Amino acid sequence: MPSAPTADRPSVLFVCVHNAGRSQMAAAFLTHLAGDAVEVRSAGSAPADTVNPAVVAAMSEVGIDISAETPKILTTEAVQASDVVITMGCGDTCPVFPGKTYLDWQLDDPAGQGIDAVRPIRDEIEHRIRTLLADLGAQAGA
């Protein structure tokens, strides 16, 4: 279970290798569902140049536009500023700090996949985000 938020609102960081698929979808769902109730970040240990186009298309199908997002490099500061760090296949590249909650979500990598393969990953991420919101005590807006 995630620890109690340390500030007025909890802060969540999603990390995957390229910050082009899973972590972008997770951050977009959390932002979409929680609004301002949760501070959301995403990053990658080896960021890609652009967000995966199949991921952008799959999110557009559910009414969430992430076409303007860009992959970001994982920084120690981002981890330190977050209450909950959720990794998605980035192994041991994420720095660990005491007092943080770390979760590892085993999800298929959408890299190089078409939209038909991305949809079930998207849907699993949405399910996990709704569960996370409940665990954080934040209300889902949609």
| Cα 23 to Cα 79: distance, rounded to the nearest angstrom | 14
For residues 118-125, give the mean pLDDT: 98
pLDDT at site 92: 65
CA distances from 80 to 11, 44, 117, 139, 142 (A): 10, 15, 34, 24, 29
CA neighbor of 87 nearest in space, from 67, 69, 72, 107: 107
Question: Is this prediction's pTM over 0.75?
Answer: yes
Residue 7 has pLDDT above 60, yes or no: no
When pLDDT is averaged across residues 99-126 and rounded to a whole number, the result is 94
Distance CA 126, CA 3 (A): 21
Distinct helix (H) and strand (E) counts, the chain:
4, 4
